[in-house]
Structure 1
Amino acid sequence: MVVRRLLWMGWLLGVTLGLEGCASWLPQASTDPVYFTTFEQARRAIESIQPGRTRVQDLKDLHLDTVQQPNTVVMSYADILRRVMGGSVLAKHDLAPGIVHCIEAHDACRGLEYSITSIHKDRVGSFWLDFINFKRETVTSGWRFNALVLSVDGVVVYRSWGGQPEVNQVDRQRNPLGPLQE
């Protein structure tokens, strides 16, 4: 009687676990920014920078310093030349005035390149089909923001931004032979 009851409870537990929450056993991954929670917040922060007025030290108040935005690249004069001119046939008169001012300042020119990302990857579908590699489906969502800020002698002379306001992608992988196809 006790054995029968234990078997029944084991079977019930197995069915419950098999049907409930299998998707929660699938891997998840996320990359979240330190400060900005939306693309719009990052855009507004960059757009509030006033070239010719905003000082580099003021970027801290906008959460745009290298401490609060750890993936920020600090660019030297040579880095800026490569980024702006980079093998193109553009002449100085084709560039924005702030970029020209920065290039003419040589070593007094500094740049900050921001790459702010909020990406979430969730595997969805059947745990068992995923586990034995027959079918895997990954949903990627979030946003990507990038910006360039150039300064001369501690004063911002140029700023621009871009990116993907919305990332929504579904990757499907089907392997008819399952684990034999790896």
Structure 2
Amino acid sequence: MKLHVLPIVIMLAGCASMLPTSRQDVKNNWEDFEQAKHAYDRIVPYQTDMATVRELGFDPAVTPNVQILNHSQVVRAVLPSPLQERAAIPPGILDCMKAQDGCVGYFMEPSRIDRKRVGNFMLDFLNFKRDTLTTGWKFGALIVVVNDKVVFKQWSGRPRIEETELRSNPLGPLQGLGEGLRPTP
């Protein structure tokens, strides 16, 4: 190998660290899914008040991206159809329906998502092949409150997110060139 080619090969070998990364972090008190679930599990319907809910990290006034639901939105979110038998409706939802405007639902999705481009720097840089690895977690909590007392709770989530997206462009940097040349109507 010629000596003047060696520095270029060494430089390109370290280029994988130059690939873009991103992090989506919905501000929350938890480092991982298990911590969020543990805090959620400490909420007990008909025992836990809003002060305790706030202490556990589910504070609608402080936590960003909290969706506040009125009583009809809570019912639609929990019940698959409005034609259910009364006995099949959870007691907390019945109490929410009775309370009408005195019922408020809080839905929040704390998460931590990391996106990292991996693979060959030159293929990525020239837009031939982009390989993105997404990792993280997402926790969803619905907390229904009537008169400052939790009456219902429901959770969902993804404890371990691991996805790979591979985008291949055979023409590389020329791939979208034709679309840019079309006249706009």
Q: TM-score under structure 2 normalisation? A: 0.85
Tell me how far apart the structure 2 counterparts of residues 169 and 105 of structure 1 sit (CA, whole Å): 43
Q: 2:36 aligns with which of 24, 39, 42?
A: 42
Instruction: Name the residue aligned to 2:143.
Output: 149
Deviation at 1:15, TM superposition (A): 3.8
State the SS of the aligned residue for 2:110.
Answer: strand
2:75·2:93 contact (CA, 8 Å) conserved in 1?
A: no
Instruction: Name the residue aligned to 2:21.
Output: 28
Give the partner amino acid of 1:26: L
Tell me how far apart the structure 2 counterparts of residues 91 and 113 of structure 1 sit (CA, whole Å): 25
Give the partner amino acid of 1:17: M
Deviation at 1:88, TM superposition (A): 4.8
2:79·2:89 contact (CA, 8 Å) conserved in 1?
A: no
1:136·1:173 contact (CA, 8 Å) conserved in 2?
A: yes
Deviation at 1:30, TM superposition (A): 0.8
**Range 33-42 or range 90-99, more displaced:** 90-99
Give the partner amino acid of 2:139: F
Identity %: 36
The alignment status of 1:133 with 2:120, answered yes or no, reads no
1:129·1:136 contact (CA, 8 Å) conserved in 2?
A: yes
Instruction: Name the residue aligned to 2:183.
Output: none
**Range 10-19 or range 49-58, more displaced:** 10-19
Give the partner amino acid of 1:28: T
1:34·1:68 contact (CA, 8 Å) conserved in 2?
A: no
Moved over 6 A (4+): none
Deviation at 1:42, TM superposition (A): 0.7
Tell me how far apart the structure 1 counterparts of residues 100 and 166 of structure 2 sit (CA, whole Å): 49
2:65·2:108 contact (CA, 8 Å) conserved in 1?
A: yes
The CA RMSD measured in Å over matched residues stands at: 2.1
Aligned residues: 174
Q: TM-score under structure 1 normalisation? A: 0.86
The alignment status of 1:74 with 2:76, answered yes or no, reads no
**Range 10-19 or range 106-115, more displaced:** 10-19
Deviation at 1:157, TM superposition (A): 0.5
1:28·1:123 contact (CA, 8 Å) conserved in 2?
A: yes
Tell me how far apart the structure 2 counterparts of residues 102 and 62 of structure 1 sit (CA, whole Å): 22
Tell me how far apart the structure 2 counterparts of residues 54 and 117 of structure 1 sit (CA, whole Å): 24
- Alpha-carbon deviations, 1:124-173, whole Å to 9, x = none? 01111001111110001111110111010000001111111111111111
Tell me how far apart the structure 1 counterparts of residues 112 and 136 of structure 2 sit (CA, whole Å): 5
1:79–1:10: structure 2 CA closer, same or farther, 3 Å change rule?
farther
Tell me how far apart the structure 2 counterparts of residues 10 and 155 of structure 1 sit (CA, whole Å): 73
